[in-house]
Every structure is written in structure tokens, then in C-alpha cells.
Amino acid sequence: MDLSEKSIWHSSYSVENSTIDDEHMQILQVYKELINLVENNNNDRQAFASILSKLTDFSLYHFKNEEKYMLNMDYPKFKEHKELHREYIYQVAMYNTELLSVNPPKLIDIINFVKDWLDNHILKEDIKYEQFKNERKISVKYTQTI
Ligand SMILES: [Fe+2]
């Protein structure tokens, strides 16, 4: 797949909640920085690792907001969802460490992992808590941690 094709926000990503969508867009924006770096044939692993850290930092912030939101609506699959977040953070942290080792992973493999995870997670998992909330007509607001 063409890298530029991988960077596009698509309306199907929408979970019908503008604040969450906005955070997802910001995540994709940082992800796009990874692509830009590689597309410019820049094999600077240090720079890549630093963007990847930024992605992790923002993801942690976003996951915290999302987890609070799921808890507030008594989302039945909260634990499973939180576990997916944990696994993702763990994997990205591993990549970050490996990037600066003697036997680093290929940058494209990391990009593919992040993109596949985001696609799967946003399209299949995040959508579920919003559907649950709407079906049950639960009035809980998504709030952002300062
Ligand atoms: Fe999530």
C-alpha cells in the first residue's frame, strides 16, 4: 500500500463524538509525521524514535480520557478495552527501545503496526463503547484531562 494512502483521515473513523474524533485526528496527525520522515527517505532512527515517543505520550493521554469515559458509562467491556490499550503501549515502547539497539526493526514495520492497530482499534473497538452509550441512552460526557 502507498504510504500517502495510509495517512488519510476517513469519515469511517468517526465514532460520532467530536471530542474523541478530534483526539483520534491528533493521533493520526503524529502518525503522519512518522510517514513524512520515512517518505523523505530519512532513516534517522533517533528522529523516528522521538516522534514515536510523542505518539505514545498523546496516546496515553487519550487512553486515560477514554478509559474514564468508559468507566463512567459502566461499559461492560472496559477491562478488555483497557487491555488493548496496554498491549499497544507496551509494543510501541518495545519498538522505541529496539530502535536504538544494534539490531533495530524496520521503520516501515513499525508504521504498519501503528496503522493496523489504529485502524482496527478505532474502527472496531472504539466504535463499540459509543454504540453502547447511544443504545442505552446513557448521558455521560467525554471529558479531557488537563
Ligand atoms: Fe480505545
Structural domain boundaries of the chain? Answer: 17-135
Q: Are 28 and 7 in contact (CB under 8 A)?
A: yes
Tell me what pLDDT residue 146 has. Answer: 75
Residues with CB under 5 A from ligand 1 (ion): 66, 126
- Mean pLDDT (whole number) for 67-83: 97
C-alpha 68 – ligand 1 centre gap (Å)? 11
Q: What is the pLDDT confidence band of residue 5, given thresholds at 50, 70 and 90?
A: low
For residue 79, is pLDDT > 80?
yes
The CATH fold assigned to 17-135 is Four Helix Bundle (Hemerythrin (Met), subunit A) (1.20.120)
Tell me what pLDDT residue 1 has. Answer: 42
Tell me what pLDDT residue 43 has. Answer: 84
pLDDT in tens, 86-118: 999 999 999 999 999 999 999 999 999 999 999
Residue of 11 and 135 predicted with greater confidence? 135
C-alpha 12 – ligand 1 centre gap (Å)? 16
